[in-house]
Amino acid sequence: MTHLKLSELVEKIEDVIQRRFAGETFWLMAEITDVKKYAGKRWCFLKFIEKEGNAITTEIKGVFWSNTYQHIEKFESATRRVFGNGLEITCNVRVRFHPRFGLDLEVLAIDVTYALGKLELEKQQTLERLLKENPDIIQLVDGQYITANKKTELSAVLQRIALVTAPNSDGQRDFKQEIEHNQYGYAFSVAGYLTQIQGDNASKLIIQQLQMIEARVEDFDVVAIVRGGGSQTDFKPFDDYELAKYVAAFPLPVLTGIGHDRNTSIVDMFARQHKTPTKVAASIVAHNYNFETLVINLKERFLGAAEDMLARAKENLQSTKRLIKSYSPVNILNKGYAIITVNGRIIVNPQDLKQGEEIKTVLKNELIHSTITKKTKNELDL
């Protein structure tokens, strides 16, 4: 019996595989799992699997090397999803065999269009389910989603903010920066509800934070959910059924700054969307500025009306003064009339005068002293 060395047998296997697969590539559609990324080295190891029910029936190793690692980055930036376990991808692969590391599929490219289409389809299905199962809080009107949350009224001034974001994140920093250094000097109180906002559990963790905010709903005017940009962003938590439903029914107005121009998550559609953390903060500042402008307008109207009122009162006083002046005795004497007095008393009723009495007749510049010699009826035609 002849014995083969291990390398001799493996060489035969390698030879078969070489002859069958050399120079050939295949387009493969499969689920991925056990994804391990080495960003520093720009390698990624994973497993392609196929299932029947929950049982894995087929499994093979897969690998990205540094010359194709860019496809993972492109995938993540286009889909806003983490390239990770459970994804179904379409990719171009080459079959390789290594005497030590065995058989694997080297990934050369990913079909991003397929991935986008699939994610979009999933999103549409989630949206349809949300609409169908929650007609009291979510409606679709003229292509726009109307939710109970979107209908909540904003307070006249938004000052007490519950901020949901990741700890020490760009989003938190950008939001704070814009709020604290606003040009009008408005004051705010910001309570941080900090949690992981990416990854498999993120939607649950965000719901937990919202529940804590809801427990002290009277303490806040508004909730801001923000996240910074960057290529490693993951939209999945914000397309989650439960989180979207929770936001749609949330009693405080929710402002979102989690997306980019290209992407709108379901949570964005169900709340007040402002794209970036900075824009959320700016919109809050602008809201308060609008209120202050209204107050200033009222102030000016009030002062204007008060001034008018005083001016009119002054005018009235002037005309009354003129009237009083026109009735003064000096004016009467100027016109040629006279006043008759007896013992310093003005005589209004001529019956008070007796014949022989001494009277004084007051004229403009003279005083006439006389004695009454005779009284007769006045028959002058004046």
Residues engaged in binding other proteins (CB under 8 A) = 155-157, 159-160, 163, 167-168, 172, 176, 184-195, 208-209, 212, 219-220, 288, 291-292, 294-295, 298-299, 301-302, 305-306, 309-310, 313
C-beta closer to other proteins: residue 147 or 209: 209
Tokens of 94: 């080459």
The smaller minimum CB distance to other proteins, of residues 64 and 220, is found at 220
Q: How far is the CB of 150 from other proteins (least distance, A)?
A: 20
Looking at beta carbons only, is 29 or 156 nearer to other proteins?
156
Q: Name which of 95 and 194 has its Cβ closer to other proteins.
A: 194
Q: Which long-range contacts (CB under 8 A, 24 or more apart) does 148-152 make?
A: 148/248, 148/249, 148/250, 149/247, 149/248, 149/249, 149/250, 149/253, 149/254, 149/270, 149/271, 150/270, 150/271, 150/272, 152/250, 152/251, 152/252, 152/253
CB distance 184 to 288 below 8 Å: yes
Which residue spans within the chain are E strands per DSSP? 25-38, 43-52, 55-64, 88-98, 102-110, 138-141, 144-147, 160-165, 189-194, 222-226, 254-257, 272-273, 339-342, 345-346, 358-362, 367-371
Question: What is the closest distance, in whole angstroms, from the C-beta atom of residue 82 to other proteins in the complex?
Answer: 22
Based on CB atoms, which residue is closest to other proteins, 56 or 156? Answer: 156
Largest CA distance in the chain: 182
Q: Are 333 and 339 in contact, with CB atoms under 8 Å apart?
A: yes
Residue type, 114: Y
Q: Which is nearer to other proteins, 172 or 233 (CB)?
A: 172
The token duo for 339 is 């006043």
Position 211: which residue type?
Q
The structure tokens listed for 248 are 């749609």
**Shortest CB 155 distance to other proteins, Å:** 7
CB of 149 to other proteins, least distance (A): 20
Which among 75, 115, 90, 84 has a CA at the least distance from the CA of 28? 90
In whole angstroms, how close is the CB of 84 to other proteins at the nearest point? 24
Q: For other proteins, which is the closer residue by CB, 212 or 363?
A: 212
Specify the length of the chain in residues.
382
List CB contacts of 280: < 8 A, sequence separation 6 or more: 175, 224, 226, 255, 256, 257, 274
Q: Are strands 339-342 and 254-257 parallel, antiparallel or unpaired?
A: unpaired
Comparing CB distances to other proteins, the nearer of 185 and 336 is 185
Contact predicate 35/85, CB 8 Å = yes
CB of 286 to other proteins, least distance (A): 13
Least separation in angstroms between CB 89 and other proteins: 34
What's the closest the beta carbon of residue 292 comes to other proteins, in angstroms? 6
Nearer to other proteins, 36 or 216 (CB): 216
CB of 299 to other proteins, least distance (A): 5
C-beta of 76 vs 178, nearer to other proteins = 178
User: If you write DSSP's letter for every residue of 209-269 in order, what string do you get?
Assistant: HHHHHHTTGGG-SEEEEE----TT---GGGG-HHHHHHHHH-SS-EEEE---SS---HHHH
Smallest distance, Å, CB 65 to other proteins? 39
